[in-house]
């Protein structure tokens, strides 16, 4: 028996670093939105727990979040059997897309099926939160949520009576540079006052208002320290993108467009550019809710 589970990436629609916490982490305010660029986790029954990966640069030992998730699920539910895991890696890591956390969440979902573990969503969230702050988001069904606290206190976004889905074509561009999240936090001065309501801004779907009010606190320091990220952002701004932003702490930058043709033209321009080296992924706008 072989089971598989997709592990979608996310973008941040705005990101405020509010304050440093006594535990050394930071309180943040952000809107997380799942996108359709995804890794895939596969599992087959085995005597022990092991992991292989299509990307040879990634560790496949205890440092990998998939294996951490597998061991913690097995420990929590006294699972005696094992699993041979394989990670098909497509989403760039250390890019602000949450792919490691999503891989861990997908592993939890996958192994509850393989091992027939009767784990509630709340139990999986508790396990996931010990692995990474974004893991609980990837365990929920809602495509978008406001994340506060460390990023693991979630309020699913709704708009017009249904789950919020991004209504604009999105072009994601990832330069070949990694950005360390711990380093990025050292570059930001937290600020908790006079911050706009991110949920209200996002649900307005007003792109001129987004340009004025939807900010990512990591953007300025990352652009200053990483010329390749700054070059990608500049390249997207030179297209017909109506809104451009860093995702998470970077290095991924995305542009939102009013028309699919403009998004496709922007992707073509990035691919033909001699000044930027990126991996790009184009996603259509969500279909209107019925």
Quick one: pLDDT band at residue 159, thresholds 50, 70, 90?
Answer: confident
What is the pLDDT confidence band of residue 290, given thresholds at 50, 70 and 90? Answer: very low
Cβ pair 71, 65 in contact under 8 A: no
Phi, psi of 162 (to 5 degrees): -140, 180
The answer to whether residues 20 and 182 touch, using CB atoms and an 8 Å cutoff, is no
134 is catalytic: yes
| Catalytic hit among 10, 29, 39, 217 | 10
Distances from the Cα of 115 to the Cαs of 102, 152, 163, in angstroms? 20, 26, 31
Other beta carbons less than 10 A from residue 54's beta carbon: 12
pLDDT at 289 over 60: no
pLDDT greater than 70 at residue 48: yes
pLDDT in tens, 100-157: 999 999 999 999 999 999 999 999 999 999 999 999 999 999 999 999 999 999 999 9
Identify the active-site residue in 29, 39, 134, 217.
Answer: 134
Name the least confident of 68-72, 156-160, 199-203, 223-227. Answer: 156-160
pLDDT for res 283 = 95
DSSP 72-86: HHHHHTT---EEEEE
Model pLDDT, residue 288? 58
Report the 10 Å Cβ neighbour count for 277: 14
Alpha-carbon gap, residue 286 to 269, rounded angstroms: 23
Q: What is the mean pLDDT of the chain?
A: 95
Q: How confident is the model at residue 254 (pLDDT cuts 50, 70, 90)?
A: very high
Residue 22 banded pLDDT, cuts 50, 70, 90: very high
Is the pLDDT at 53 greater than 90? The verdict is yes
Q: Yes or no: say if 31 and 13 are a contact pair by the CB < 8 Å rule.
A: yes
Residue 10 catalytic?
yes
Token pair for 113: 């099926």
Length of the chain: 290
End-to-end CA distance of the chain: 38
What percentage of the chain has pLDDT greater than the value 90? 91
Rounded percentage of the chain residues whose pLDDT exceeds 70: 99
Q: Is 285 exposed, middle or buried (0-12, 13-18, 19+ CB in 10 A)?
A: middle
């Amino acid at each position: 028996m072989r089971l598989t589970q997709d592990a979608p990436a996310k973008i941040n629609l705005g990101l405020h670093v509010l304050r440093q916490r006594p535990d050394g982490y930071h309180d943040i305010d952000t809107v997380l939105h799942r996108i359709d660029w995804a890794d895939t986790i596969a599992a087959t029954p085995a005597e022990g727990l092991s992991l292989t990966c299509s990307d040879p640069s990634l560790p496949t030992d205890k440092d990998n979040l998939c294996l951490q998730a597998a061991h913690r699920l097995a420990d929590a539910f006294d699972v005696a059997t094992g699993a041979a895991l394989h990670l098909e890696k497509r989403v760039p890591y250390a890019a602000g897309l949450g792919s490691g956390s999503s891989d861990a969440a997908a592993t939890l979902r996958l192994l509850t099926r393989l091992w027939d573990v009767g784990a509630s969503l709340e139990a999986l969230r508790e396990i996931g939160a010990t692995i990474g702050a974004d893991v609980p988001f990837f365990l929920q069904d809602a495509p978008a949520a406001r994340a506060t606290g460390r990023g693991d206190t979630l309020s699913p976004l709704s708009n017009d009576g249904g789950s919020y889905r991004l209504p604009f074509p999105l072009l994601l561009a990832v330069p070949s540079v990694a950005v360390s999240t711990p380093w990025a936090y050292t570059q930001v001065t937290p600020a908790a006052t006079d911050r706009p309501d991110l949920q209200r801004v996002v649900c307005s779907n007003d792109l001129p208002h987004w340009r004025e009010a939807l900010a990512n606190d990591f953007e300025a320091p990352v652009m200053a320290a990483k010329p390749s990220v700054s070059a990608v952002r500049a390249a997207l701004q030179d297209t017909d993108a109506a809104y451009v932003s860093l995702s998470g702490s970077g290095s991924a930058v995305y542009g939102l467009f009013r028309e699919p043709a403009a998004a496709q033209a922007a992707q073509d321009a990035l691919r033909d550019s001699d000044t930027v080296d990126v991996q790009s992924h184009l996603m259509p706008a969500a279909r209107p809710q019925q």
